[in-house]
Amino acid sequence: MTKFDPALSARAAALREKIERAGYEYYVLDRPSLSDAEYDKLFHELKALEAKHPTLRTADSPTLRVGAEPQSALAKHTHLVPMLSLANAFTVEDLAQWEERIVKLGGEKVRKSGYVCELKIDGAAVSLTYEAGVLVAGATRGNGVIGENVTPNLRTIRDIPLRLRGTGYPRDMEVRGEVYMPFSGFEKMNEKRVRAGEPVFANPRNSAAGALRQLDPAVSATRPLRFYAYQVALRDGGVPAREQVKLLESLESWGLPVAPHYAMARTLADVHAWAEHVEHHVRSSLDFGIDGGVVKVNDMRLWADLGVVGGREPRYAIARKFAPDIAETKLLKIEINVGRTGSLNPWALLAAVEIGGTTVEKATLHNFELIRDKDLREGDIVQVKRAGEVIPQVIGPVPDKRDKKRPPKPFEPPTRCPSCGSKVEAGAERGMLYCLNANCPAQRLEAIWHFAGRAAMDIRGLGYERIQQFIEQDLVRDVADLYDLAPGKLLKLERFAEKSATALVEAIEASRQQPFSRLLFGLGIESVGEIAAKQLARHFGTMDELAKASLDDLLAIHGMGETIAKSVTDWFGRAASRRLVEKLRRRGLTFDEPRPKSSGALKGKTVVLTGTLETLSREQATELIEANGGKVTSGVSKSTSFLVAGAEAGSKLEKARALGVKIMDERELLKLITAGAD
Cα–Cα distance, 448 to 468 (Å, whole number)? 10
Chain centroid to Cα 90, Å, comes to 25
**Helices then strands, each counted (H, E), the chain:** 25, 24
Q: Which amino acid is at 612?
A: T
Q: Which of 656, 654, 606, 653 is nearest to 633 (CA)?
A: 606
Written as one letter, the residue type at 110 is V
338 forms beta bridges with: 344
| C-alpha–C-alpha distance, residues 177 and 300, integer Å | 17
How far, in Å, are 6, 560, 613, 632, 644 from residue 610 at the CA level?
50, 21, 8, 11, 6
Report whether 386 contacts 284 (CB < 8 A).
yes
DSSP for 49-118?
Answer: HHHH-GGG--TT-GGGGT-PPPPSSPPEEE-SS------EE-SHHHHHHHHHHHHHHH-HHHHHH-EEEE
Q: Which of 177, 181, 175, 178 is nearest to 254 (CA)?
A: 175
Closest CA to 229 of 85, 115, 123, 80: 123
Alpha-carbon torsion (272, 278, 281, 284), positive or negative: negative
Integer CA distances (angstroms), 614 to 159, 208, 214, in order: 36, 40, 50
For residue 249, the Cα-to-chain-centroid distance in whole angstroms is 24
Catalytic status, residue 492: no
Q: Which of 47, 76, 112, 120 is catalytic?
A: 120
Pairing of strands 343-355, 358-364: antiparallel
Q: Which residue type, as a one-letter code, is found at position 121?
A: I
Report helix, strand or coil for 23.
Answer: helix
CA 580 to chain centre: 38
Q: Which residues are catalytic?
A: 120
